[in-house]
A and B are shown apart, each in its own frame.
Chain A
Amino acid sequence: MLYTWSFFIASAIFLIGIIYRIIGFFRLTIGPDRAEFTTADRIKAFLSGLLGILVSPVRMFHLFKTVILNVVLQLPLIRQDSLKWFMHICIYWGFFGLFFFHALEGYVSEVIFSNYMSTLNPFMFLRNIAGVMVMTGVGIAIYRRKTHFRLKQISKHPDYLAIVLLALIMISGFGLEAAKIISSGVFDDMVAEYGFMDYDEELPALKAVWQEEFNVHFPGETIPVTPEIMELGWMINEDNCAACHSNPRWAFVSYPVSIAMTPFADFFNRNRLDLLLLNIHFLSCFIALAYLPFSKFLHILTTPISLIISGLAGQQIKRDENKASRRVFDLSACIQCGTCTSHCAVGPLFEIFNNQWVFPSERVTHIRESAWGRPMDKESRDAFSQGSFICTMCNKCSQVCTAGMNLQDIWKETREQLAEEFLPDPVIRIRELCNKNQSEKAGLKAPVVLKPGKNPVVESLKKSLQAGAFSQCYTCLTCTSTCPVVDITGESNELGSAPHQVIHALILGQTDLAKNASIVWNCLTCYKCQENCPQGVRITDVFYQLKNMVHQQEFGI
């Protein structure tokens, strides 16, 4: 009853979730919504692309090759990190082995193998092998997340929840098998169902064999054991049981577990705790099934498709409709494995900016969540923008992505969207801010006021290695006459448009004037001024320092 109901509820949630996802893949947009394509357009484009593969033998061959090499064998992963490949292959093959041949035994194993019995070898043995594979993989996964310097920084509750749920299914499975091994109840049920024997003489002999050799515990019963009884017992076992039940020692994990359970065997068997474990086992499976469309487990369905797309079409696909759908789809194929983040060209900057959105894997999570209806508050969105614009678009993340995502395209679109939200690159923001300040000043014709005493900003500049020598400037204007920006704009009279004015302003302690000077923000950083300065003033480096100061003023770092 519990089994049927929970199965139907879990399946219903699973199906609704999957339909919700599929509709979303064709409906949602990443980046600015230009309302270019309708959902119908995108479905049509997808189907025509799919048809294009199915009708072409060459593409079908490539499809087949991609499925074998990239999906089943995961060769790109082995080239990248063999431990990670081993971990994933253990979970992946172990899980699929259990899923098809154990969970779906009625539809797969029994159809393929005419003599299939879950208690028979090699099936019993292989089930344990698969379980061990998954557990090994889960163990390596936890080890990696706990020890890898970068993975530790990005692993979150959902990552561990997925690992824990998988571990729960496996542990309850082994526990259930072990509980069945020691269970007198299961023994009695099976004798009633399959046994044809004399209950007075032969049954105790069978019990003796199963107690002594197969670790069954009969609470409150004392079973006489003599060599003759054992011999009879083995004979009865051969006639009644062996055809469908191999020696449980072949369950090489569950059997030792059952021995470990021996001290509690009486308690277990009196209360039929094997049934409790059975409930835990299938309920945890059903929870995972229901949770699948809403968690990283979804990658079981999405990542193979994404790997096939990238294997067939490469990083760039042709049609814009399909690009829009792929962006949404790719985000669901992400497994938060952290490979992109560990290889990210600017990932180390997390240590300086303390901004988690520097990490590509974190940005993917946020972009996915906000696309599926969980947008951020303004402050976090601002931090997200800062992180997004630290990215140098080097494409390394897409090249190493184990799920075959085209991240480059996602970054491009999100940046465009951020610019539309008035959250462009921080450098552009501070540049615009300073330009605004300058025009206000010019409009008001505010008098320049010299203040007595030392200006702390100027003092800090003097101490820095890069900018220290500016007070030696004697305003010879060599910098301004070599400056290519002054050359092309033709402006050197307006306050702040020539490099020497900035240096002079600093000498006078007018740091705001210097920070807002247009030449600082139009500087090409070509270092011509600095190279030619007869006094060794590091003009370009001073400009860099001023820009850094404004950045710190505005963004706290």
Chain B
Amino acid sequence: MKYALFSGCRTGFDIPQHPKSAKAVLSRLNVKVEELDFGCCGYPVKEKNLDAFLLLAIRNLAIAQTHHLPVLTLCKCCFGSLKQAEHYFQNDAEKRVMINRILEKEGLHYGGGVRVHHMLTLLDREVDTGIIQRSIVHPLDGIKVAASYGCHALRPATITGFDDHPNAPTIFERIIRLTGAETVNWSKRLECCGNPLLDKNSTLARGFILNKYETAKQEGADLICTACNYCHMQYEYGRDIILKSGSTTPIPAVLLTQLLGRAMGLEKKLTGVETAA
């Protein structure tokens, strides 16, 4: 099976290690990916104009459709956006016509129905668990990991279909445990990271992320695992704040693909984290 890798805008400059580690991990699992000339998922303009959001999101699905590939996102905001856009596209005939009329100008057309996966749903549902288990050559025994879920993939659950139990999901923990690590029952695992308010209300944005760092440490986590570009950037932002304040050293926040890559014994230049000894 082959997927169109949708890395997301923030990976171009801020977190290039995300697609890099993802590609290395996927190639270990024999999952083929192709990088298409995707644009923005639409999430950043949703507050400005819903049509703009729909156009950008559907355009990506149309590009994937011309290549006959399902989409694989690394970011939960991208995932949620594409899922929501597909939902609106299916249920709003007027918008469907409007979007396709614009897409036709660049020779694109969307008929609906492109499947969208997030890295987690792919590993959970599309890849055989045995293959993942066999690829773990350096199990992360004894490491306690706090999974930071990310809102836009989880909710609205009927649209995103991320986990069968949106109020008590386990998909992230299931995948983390495959690496041999333990998972922490973290009270704030489903909470927002605060990134959407970063430039708008920095007091709140700060409050959310510091709270997450604090509670994760209290509940015994050795590290926080993310699987979303925006969450990860927010953790990096929070880490800088904590380091500047000089009070404590924050526990590290790593990407899911980095965690997997390390457990698979991949090199540092691919994952951005130290190679397992």
Contacts and interface: CB of A to CB of B under 8 A. Distances in A.
Interface of A: 149-150, 343-349, 351-353, 390, 392-396, 399, 408, 425-428, 431, 465-466, 484-485, 488-489, 521-528, 530-531, 538, 544-545, 547-548, 551-552, 557
In this complex, the member of B13, B105, B194 whose beta carbon has the largest number of chain A beta carbons within 10 angstroms is B13
Given A149-B105, A346-B56, A351-B102, A394 B40 contact: yes
A526 B151 contact: yes
Contacts of A525: 46, 151-152, 196
A548 B47 contact: yes
Contact of B151 (A392, A466, A527, A548): A527
Nearest to B160: A527
B51 interface: yes
Given A346-B45, A484-B191, A531-B166, A524 B157 contact: no
A488 B204 contact: yes
Contacts of B191: 484, 526
Contacts of B199: 425, 428
Contact of A466 (B50, B56, B166): B50
B200 interface: yes
B168 to A, nearest CB: 12
B110 interface: no
B194 to A, nearest CB: 7
A531 B157 contact: yes
Nearest to B59: A348
A527 B45 contact: no
A527 B46 CA distance: 14
Contact of A524 (B49, B51, B192): B192
In this complex, the member of B14, B45, B91, B107 whose beta carbon has the largest number of chain A beta carbons within 10 angstroms is B45
A331 to B, nearest CB: 19
Contact of A150 (B106, B192, B200): B106
B129 interface: no
Nearest to B16: A395
- Shortest 9 CB-CB distances between A and B: which pairs? A394-B9, A395-B12, A527-B155, A395-B13, A526-B151, A345-B40, A526-B192, A392-B9, A345-B39
B201 interface: yes
Contacts of B10: 392-394
Contacts of A425: 199
A548 B192 contact: no
Given A345-B9, A425-B199, 4 more contacts: A352-B52, A394-B40, A427-B48, A548-B47
A406 to B, nearest CB: 11
Interface in B150-166: 151-152, 154-157, 166
B47 A427 contact: yes
B70 to A, nearest CB: 20
Given A392-B40, A484-B192, A349 B56 contact: yes
A415 B40 CA distance: 19
Given A488-B211, A521-B200, A551 B151 contact: no
Contacts of B211: 488
B47 A347 contact: no
Contacts of A465: 88, 91-92
B65 to A, nearest CB: 16
Given A351-B102, A524-B192, A544 B47 contact: yes
Nearest to A545: B50
Given A488-B207, A551-B48, A524 B196 contact: yes
A352 B9 contact: no
Given A351-B105, A394-B12, A485 B50 contact: no
Nearest to A552: B49
Contacts of B91: 465
Nearest to A555: B48
Contact of A392 (B44, B152, B194): B44
Interface in B98-117: 102, 105-107
A551 B37 contact: no
B50 A544 contact: yes
B208 interface: yes
B243 interface: no
B197 interface: yes
In this complex, the member of B91, B151, B157 whose beta carbon has the largest number of chain A beta carbons within 10 angstroms is B151
Contacts of A523: 196
Contacts of B14: 393
Nearest to B58: A348
B12 A396 contact: yes
Contacts of A538: 156
A528 B155 contact: yes
A466 B204 CA distance: 26
Given A395-B13, A465-B92, A524-B151, A348 B55 contact: yes
A392 to B, nearest CB: 4
Given A392-B44, A465-B88, A548-B48, A427 B56 contact: no
B204 A489 contact: yes
7 contacts: A345-B9, A349-B56, A351-B102, A522-B197, A526-B155, A526-B196, A531-B166
Nearest to A432: B200
Contacts of B88: 465-466
Contacts of A392: 9-10, 40, 44
Nearest to A523: B196
